[in-house]
Amino acid sequence: MTLHTVQGRRPAVCIMVLGTTSGAGKSWLTTALCRHYSNLGLKVAPFKAQNMSNNARVVEGIDGAWGEIGSAQYFQALAARAVPEVRMNPLLLKPEADTHSQVVLLGQVSEPLTALPWRGRSAVVWPQIAAALDALRAENDVVVIEGAGSPAETNLHASDIVNMRVARHAHARCLLVTDIDRGGAFAHLYGTWALLPEDERALIHGFVLNKFRGDASLLAPAPQHLQERTGVPTVATIPMQWHHGLPEEDGVFDMTPTLGTGVSSLPPEGALAARGGPSPLNRPHTTPGAVHTTVAVVAYPRISNLDEFQPLKNVPGVRLQWVRSPADVAGLRPSDWIVLPGSKATAADLAWLRAQGLDQSIAAHAGQGGAVLGVCGGLQMLGEALIDPDGIDGNGPGLGLLPLVTVFEPAKTVRRTSAAFGQLTGTWAPLSGVRAQGYEIHHGQTAQHPAMAAKGDVARGVMPGIAWQNPAGNVLGVYLHGLFEDAAVLHALFGAQAPTLDAVFDGLADGVARHFDPGVLDALIA
């Protein structure tokens, strides 16, 4: 795969989903539209010029190399029945601190771009973003483009490479979506439209009210008044959907209806520790039926790839719980799990975990025979030490639950992986012999701690170079992301399976077809 375009093909029609705010529903709606137009027999591709997320997937890169894109574009590609690849999200920013992100261009980490100031970066990357979009337009019938945040952030407009600059370049027919459940939806829509230059307002073809609860007749006369002021019709009112089945792109997603609409941003690092009690994040999502397993996922500040736990929300008898304090894990049974997920800043998140006192809670749970799973950065935390000779992540002692040591290297491992588990014991014995499909994204290289091996303390390698288990059998660390998206793994561990992604995508497409005004979706591609 290269950036060359197909000669002689009519460029794709571009539909763009903009939002009045982050969390308005852009990713969700883009995914639904990808499947809707694919169901019409059209060749469809998603696109997002720049994404900021630590949820990333490994996909086809340039000239045969593996690369990274945001998880949202990965799922949008699957919804479009397209092969996910790096042109669909040419620029990915992976936050490593509040004021610093690792920059991934066309799937590969770029140290020069990472070092550039935010505004200075746009002029450098725009030609490659435009080339990626033009190539997708040349190869498809429809490209569904997702914006970022709001297009009306006037402080960012001059250096914009993800919203209206993309819309103008692609002559996109734009939908502006707002979260009506937050309140102020009509003011958000009007204010966003009013702050755009006149030529960009002309690209807005419809307003979308998302996450609506109540009697739709009570909305009148607001949509009519809004159209009189802007000339833009409100073309869809989409109901709140609590269990649509699509992983959230960012934040910890709390499915408890009393908490609101969905995305719960992680609070400041010290907030929960100062509060002393259980955090609001620990309200669990429970599937129907008697609960047999609580899966407590530690939500540290730089958590990454948390979307891979979405399938657990759909397994009967499993309760998924996000935790950030010792009080959150109090009362766990040995049969319950504590999961240390991926991290974009392993050493910093490990220091945070210790500051909360969660290290003691995890050790106590493991000491009672409780199940502990570490994934990628979580695996690295479970070992004895983190060693960072090149300043990649940070040095520090590990939790000491596996006799392993991790050395961070400048070269980043990015690949899709298929491998079979060897013989496991204890909690994880059902995985023995199971072939799992997933992906790896990590700077660390992990191996047995030599001094501990000399004393007879040896981790059991259960997937060469990828997974290790403690002798007692209750602690498992793996580099493989995506375990719970693998049907064979879910069946082995729980004797159950989650709904297929195709079923989820078709449900989304059916929803937008019902809730858009008749003829609107066809008119957008006419």
Longest dimension (CA), the chain: 79
Position 497 scores a pLDDT of: 75
Residue range 56-107, pLDDT digits in tens: 899 989 888 899 999 999 999 999 999 999 999 999 998 877 767 889 999 9
Whether residue 188 lies in the annotated active site: no
Tell whether the model's pLDDT for residue 54 goes beyond 90.
Answer: no
Residue range 263-277, pLDDT digits in tens: 233 333 232 222 233
My answer on whether 369 and 454 are in the same domain is yes
Adjacency order of strands within the sheet including 385-387: 396-397, 385-387, 404-420, 435-448
Enter the tokens of residue 311. 């399938």
Position 91 scores a pLDDT of: 96
Assigned domain for 4 exists: no
Whole-prediction pTM: 0.82
My answer on whether 215 and 277 are in the same domain is no
Return the CATH number at 373.
3.40.50.880
Assigned domain for 5 exists: no
* Interatomic CA distance for residues 384 and 226, integer angstroms: 61
What mean pLDDT comes out for the span 334-357? Answer: 96
Residue range 454-498, pLDDT digits in tens: 888 899 999 999 999 999 999 999 999 999 999 999 999 999 777
Position 248 scores a pLDDT of: 61
- DSSP H helices, 430-526, are 450-454, 487-494, 501-515, 520-524
Assigned domain for 1 exists: no
Residue range 179-224, pLDDT digits in tens: 999 899 999 999 999 999 999 999 999 999 999 998 888 999 999 9
* Interatomic CA distance for residues 292 and 335, integer angstroms: 8
Whether residue 244 lies in the annotated active site: no
Q: Which domain holds residue 70?
A: 13-243+504-524
* Percent of all residues in the chain with a pLDDT value above 70, rounded to a whole number: 89
My answer on whether 260 and 222 are in the same domain is no
* Interatomic CA distance for residues 164 and 265, integer angstroms: 26
Three-state DSSP at 130 gives: helix
My answer on whether 62 and 42 are in the same domain is yes
My answer on whether 486 and 512 are in the same domain is no
What mean pLDDT comes out for the span 370-379? Answer: 97
What mean pLDDT comes out for the span 41-68? Answer: 92
Residue range 114-170, pLDDT digits in tens: 888 877 888 899 999 999 999 999 999 999 999 999 999 998 888 999 999 999 999
Mean pLDDT of the chain: 88
My answer on whether 494 and 405 are in the same domain is yes
My answer on whether 76 and 185 are in the same domain is yes
Catalytic residue, chosen from 205, 442, 481, 515, is: 481
Tell whether the model's pLDDT for residue 9 goes beyond 80.
Answer: no
- Helix and strand totals (H; E) in the chain: 17, 28
Assigned domain for 2 exists: no
My answer on whether 508 and 477 are in the same domain is no
Position 264 scores a pLDDT of: 30
Return the CATH number at 115.
3.40.50.300
My answer on whether 227 and 342 are in the same domain is no
Position 496 scores a pLDDT of: 79
Adjacency order of strands within the sheet including 108-109: 50-52, 91-97, 100-105, 108-109
My answer on whether 134 and 211 are in the same domain is yes
315-346 in b/e form (b: 16+ CB < 10 A) is bbebbbbbbbbbbbbeebeeebbbbbbbbbbb
Catalytic residue, chosen from 376, 442, 443, 515, is: 376
Tell whether the model's pLDDT for residue 362 goes beyond 70.
Answer: yes
